[in-house]
A and B are shown apart, each in its own frame.
Chain A
Amino acid sequence: MSSVSKRLATDLLFKGVLGLATVILFIPLIMILYYIIVNGAGAISWAFLTSLPKPPGEIGSGIGNAIVGSAILICIACIISVPIGVGVGVFLSEKPTHTIAKMVRICLEILQGIPSIVIGIISYLWVVLPMGGFSALSGGIALSLMMLPLVIRSTEETLKLIPQSLKEASLGLGVPYYRTMTKIIIPAGRPGISTGIILGISRVAGETAPLLFTAFGNPFLTFNIMKPVNSLPSLIYNYATSPYSDWQQAAWGASLVLILFLFTLSLIARTISTR
């Protein structure tokens, strides 16, 4: 065997190993999706989506309260993080060299890296302890802390890409600065900003760790943000670790609902950002 064909064989072998590793990696992905779809599809029905959890053994258990709870938590997180995030993003893109902007950048880098369980501790100490109990509000605040860096980043990145001439044209026509920003620049960056918000939602919608000792969980349906609420991820956690097979069945169903929700979000984000 000549040395050239040996080298070519090594190259082919290497390429084969890389390809094999890539294919092997996707086996767990396919397995996870397969199990969720096969086990989850059997659990899902209209009654399952709308009714409340029942004790193990009783028929007709549902995840209605968890869906409502997740929606409440996501709403609270958005109400807090979207205005602040867009505001800070505008500030960062308008005054990139300001001292406060530099400090904000360092803080964002750290904030983004804080483990979700530590965020849960923080929200427990800041909200649960003073209020004297677990609540949807504390869970929403924990999620907003995780969402905030993403909203700020995407707003900043988007606004940086908007042509300077747009702003100059508006200012040149005598439009005050604040109106230029709120009526011209931010609307021009809306696709990018909303993509960031959707990505932020999809990051927090599946989070369980920050909710363990904030939103806590609740077997009943509640719309009161001062009361503990259930959420899809917490329900999956509680049911998956329970010994009852019908609860585990419900956890598969809830997993399918959660995955479908997350995939829909990323699909929406993709369509917005490619348009």
Chain B
Amino acid sequence: MRKTSQLSPEDRNIRIYETLFSWILKFFSVLVVATLVGILATILIQALPSFRDAGINFYTGKSWDPVFKHFSATPFVVGTLATTVLALLISIPFSLSIALFSGFYLHPGRITSTIRLLIDLLAGIPSVIYGFWGLSIVVPAVRQFELFSGRVPYGVGIFTAALILSIMIVPYAASIGRDVIALVPSDLKEAGLALGATPYEVVRWIVMPYSKAGLLSGILLSFGRAIGETMAVTMVIGNANKIPGSIFDPANTISSIIANEFAEATDPIYVSHLIHMGLILFISTTAIGLFGRRVIKKWSSH
């Protein structure tokens, strides 16, 4: 290779551009890594005062009352778990049906592409519109039901939030389920059918056992997705900062308490406690996401 001084000015320019180009690409890539490290570091540092102030009480305490400086995440952890688990329970039959329908029963054609289109539409509706629809249609309906069944007619609450959340996670859960079910080797399915098993028996004895691990991690991934959901839940959960006694009680989730109080929090320690909850949210969604995807990847590779 010739030295730079021996190159014509044109070639030298090219070489400069060449190095510049590869440096820019590398710089952008490092920037992405630095951003993520920065995000993690920022949340950790900002949550430190909260760790020091509340300590273990943040997880064992029972109340959240900024006026009296009682800060405990328990009501919101309970609220989040109740809402998301209930939402998953409601949505699993539906996501599984769609996954089986489009991944096993139907051959690719007009019906599957229609189902896919409708699922895409469902996935494309913004969270805030789900919340608005929930507020104006689902909340009055639940209120009627509560009146009818002799409960306090809040309308808003964990049950309402879970109903709406369950609709919102179906597209995500169904698409994972469909991919997992489509990975079941066709010779297994065809062998079952050739032996005279009905499609139901193939699903029951071949498809389901084979894809169990994949489906379970799909449920886990949907759970991770659901706990971070903010707007729709915030609008219909009723925003009560206490540990809910029943699924019809108003409550708050981790994300809805941040959405409600972060902009109004003036006391630095108050802000730090809210960021601490953001950290809980960040760590749990990340851990669930990484773990779930690892399981699916490992499962689908053999």
Contacts and interface: CB of A to CB of B under 8 A. Distances in A.
Interface string B191-229: 000000011110100000000000000000000100111
A46 interface: no
A103 interface: yes
Given A113-B224, A177-B18, A15 B105 contact: yes
Contact of B94 (A11, A24, A101): A24
A175 to B, nearest CB: 10
A181 B282 contact: no
A47 interface: no
A117 B259 contact: yes
B29 A240 contact: no
Ranked nearest first, the 4 interchain pairs of A and B with the lowest CB-CB distance are A206-B126, A115-B228, A21-B97, A178-B21
B7 interface: no
Given A18-B100, A22-B97, A176-B14, A216 B33 contact: no
Most buried by B among A18, A32, A36: A18
Contacts of A166: none
B278 A259 contact: no
A148 B32 CA distance: 9
A25 B94 contact: yes
Given A15-B199, A91-B28, A117-B228, A21 B259 contact: no
Given A29-B122, A178-B17, A266-B124, A109 B28 contact: no
Contact of B36 (A90, A107, A125, A237): A107
A14 B203 contact: yes
Interface residues of A, number: 82
Interface in A164-222: 176-179, 181-182, 202, 205-209, 212-213, 216
Nearest to B260: A212
18 contacts: A10-B200, A21-B94, A21-B97, A25-B170, A94-B25, A110-B36, A110-B286, A110-B290, A115-B229, A116-B228, A177-B21, A206-B125, A209-B127, A212-B262, A213-B263, A233-B231, A237-B231, A263-B121
A202 B97 CA distance: 27
A152 B28 CA distance: 11
A35 B130 CA distance: 11
B152 interface: no
A108 interface: yes
A248 B255 contact: no
A273 interface: no
Query: What is the size category of the interface that chain B forms with chain A?
Result: 35 or more
Contact of A240 (B122, B132, B293): B132
Contact of B43 (A35, A108, A118): A118
Given A26-B118, A91-B28, A115-B228, A35 B133 contact: yes
A240 B42 CA distance: 33
A35 B278 CA distance: 34
A182 B22 CA distance: 12
Contacts of A84: 28, 31-32
A113 B286 contact: yes
Contact of B93 (A8, A21, A91, A94): A21
B235 interface: yes
Give the interface SS of chain B, mostly helix, strand, loop or mixed.
Answer: helix
A29 B29 contact: no
B237 to A, nearest CB: 12
A89 to B, nearest CB: 9
A99 B201 CA distance: 48
B281 to A, nearest CB: 5
A122 interface: yes
A258 B129 contact: yes
A209 B231 CA distance: 6
B180 interface: no
A117 B258 contact: yes
A84 B32 CA distance: 9
B137 interface: yes
B215 to A, nearest CB: 15
Contacts of B290: 109-110
A138 interface: no
Contacts of B21: 177-178, 181-182
B201 A11 contact: yes
A112 to B, nearest CB: 8
Contacts of A124: 262
Nearest to A258: B126
B56 to A, nearest CB: 23
A32 B127 contact: no
A176 B20 CA distance: 13
A31 interface: yes
B286 A114 contact: yes
A7 B198 contact: yes
Contact of A115 (B18, B30, B98, B282): B282
B65 interface: no
Contacts of A88: 25, 28-29, 32
A87 B231 contact: no
B167 A251 contact: no
B188 interface: no
Given A176-B17, A255-B129, A213 B262 contact: yes
Nearest to A205: B126
A115 B97 contact: no
A241 interface: yes
Given A7-B198, A22-B98, A117-B255, A152 B124 contact: no
